[in-house]
Chains A and B, each alone.
Chain A
Amino acid sequence: MAKVLVVTSGKGGVGKTTSTAALGAALAQRGEKVVVVDFDVGLRNLDLILGAERRVVFDLINVVQGVAKLSQALIRDKRLENLWLLPASQTRDKDALTDEGVRSIIADLRTKFDWILCDSPAGIERGATLAMRYADEAVIVTNPEVSSVRDSDRIIGMLDSKTVKAESGERVEKHVLITRYDSGRAARGEMLSIEDILEILATPLLGIIPESQDVLRASNVGSPVTLNNAASAPARAYIDAARRLMGETVEMMVPTERKGLMDRLLGRRAA
């Protein structure tokens, strides 16, 4: 049965789009049929991260307004035949999204895909609430710092009250994904520890993605990090998280960079 999963955070810049692309690619690599939907109308990014920006013809708003058919707007990934993108419109804003339009698109996508990953915009306004509206599951992307954690807490409260599932008395299954984690800085007390974050959010952990240059490198070449360098520490962490989403039990660990000798000597750290 198709699962609608929203990737959300409240706060901007924590890695929602990166995580959507990486998880989507990781799920597709494991044979699942996946569509990633960009809900960030007006500030679309997911097409860039997936390297599909030059193939966008129609977008989510066109489909909502009936200008284009869903099949016309869906873009198939060139590397993974199981991965599709439904891009957002860059020329419109979030007001162009309607509850009814989103409902019908999600219902349509449910019949075609195993996973529907909704990349939520930052904030708690229309775009974010509509991205989570029809979700069955949610990945809350959180950075190990207080403002991100508090915003995530707020988003979890909204997932428990503003979604269709919550309104019908069910629960949206929630997972916390900690990104940009630096174990060295956490050990020195410069970052919130995993325990602190989980204690505050009282929500199960999906994975810990280490801070890494590989993430930036991958997005610069328009490739999900799980595709670009599957052996890198963040890619392994995302792949583990995707396996957990599929119901597998995978031991929780913080993958570390395999530092070269030069890196060690120069004390180079991912910034």
Chain B
Amino acid sequence: MNAIAQPTRQLVRMRGRSYVAFVFAPVVPIVGWLEEIDATLARSPGFFAGKPVVLDLSEAAIMHLVASLEQRNVRVLGIEGVDPVRLTASMPPLLTGGRSCVLMQNELKKPETKPKPTSLLLENPVRSGQSIVFTEGDVTVLGSVGSGAEIVAGGSIHIYGTLRGRAMAGVNGNSAARIYCQKIEAELLAIDGYYQTAEEIDVALRNRPAQAWLEGDVMRIAPLS
């Protein structure tokens, strides 16, 4: 049978026809009654197959359903689709005109697990007074780092200009972090808490490409060749 009603305007012949139908009148307790049906189905699974079934909800059955739902902490706001004459004053009121709507399942959206960036790229020079703090990883500066500016990185620091300010690498206890710069005129270099000030940095290294790393608890600075 085609379930979709076609909007055709043909003459329709009406014929009366009667069918034999089962009438289900749930009895209390409903749970027991459903168990009976289950048992019937277990004995002969095809018993209701293709057969019309009418559900007869007597006043007692409705009362019982509402009561047993309330026992389960389900409060019934209203009853729908029942002849109003069948509802008594103690029952929830009849509701009509309800429209179906889709209930959105409010699943907790898993935040898209974008991997956190592990490096920071700065394309402009870092000016005096600016402080760049990036504890998640490496910092790369394409310009220079001015005197009085500072870079604080969880990982290594790479400076393609002149380092005139302070560079602090491996601040989270990463002793493998290093500092690289194209020209070293740093005020202070620090790796994992070990530091050297400008005064301690060998004058011979000045104005040359250099790198700094930790060897045990001694900071080494060497020219990059």
A residues with a Cβ closer than 8 A to B are: 124, 146, 150-151, 153-154, 156-158, 160, 199-200, 202
Q: Is the CB of A154 within 8 A of B128?
A: yes
In the complex, what distance in Å separates the CA atom of A199 from the CA atom of B182? 13
Contact of A154 with B129 at beta-carbon distance under 8 Å, contacts A200-B146, A202-B144 already known: yes
In the complex, what distance in Å separates the CA atom of A160 from the CA atom of B128? 12
Q: Which single residue of chain A is at the shortest CB-CB distance from B130?
A: A157
Q: Is the CB of B147 within 8 A of A150?
A: yes
Count: A-B pairs, CB below 8 Å: 42
List 18 contacting pairs A-B, 8 Å CB cutoff, sorted by A.
Answer: A124-B129, A146-B147, A150-B128, A150-B146, A150-B148, A153-B128, A154-B127, A154-B128, A154-B148, A157-B128, A157-B149, A158-B129, A160-B127, A199-B162, A200-B162, A200-B164, A202-B143, A202-B144
Q: Which single residue of chain A is at the shortest CB-CB distance from B125?
A: A202
Note all chain B residues with C-beta closer than 8 A to A199: 144, 162
B residues with a Cβ closer than 8 A to A are: 124-130, 143-144, 146-149, 161-162, 164
Note all chain B residues with C-beta closer than 8 A to A200: 144, 146-147, 162, 164
Note all chain A residues with C-beta closer than 8 A to B124: 160
In the complex, what distance in Å separates the CA atom of A200 from the CA atom of B128? 10
Determine which residue in A124, A154, A160, A199 has the highest number of CB atoms from chain B within 10 A of its CB, and name it.
A154
Note all chain A residues with C-beta closer than 8 A to B128: 150-151, 153-154, 157
Note all chain B residues with C-beta closer than 8 A to A158: 127, 129
Q: Which single residue of chain A is at the shortest CB-CB distance from B148?
A: A150
Determine which residue in B127, B147, B148 has the highest number of CB atoms from chain A within 10 A of its CB, and name it.
B127
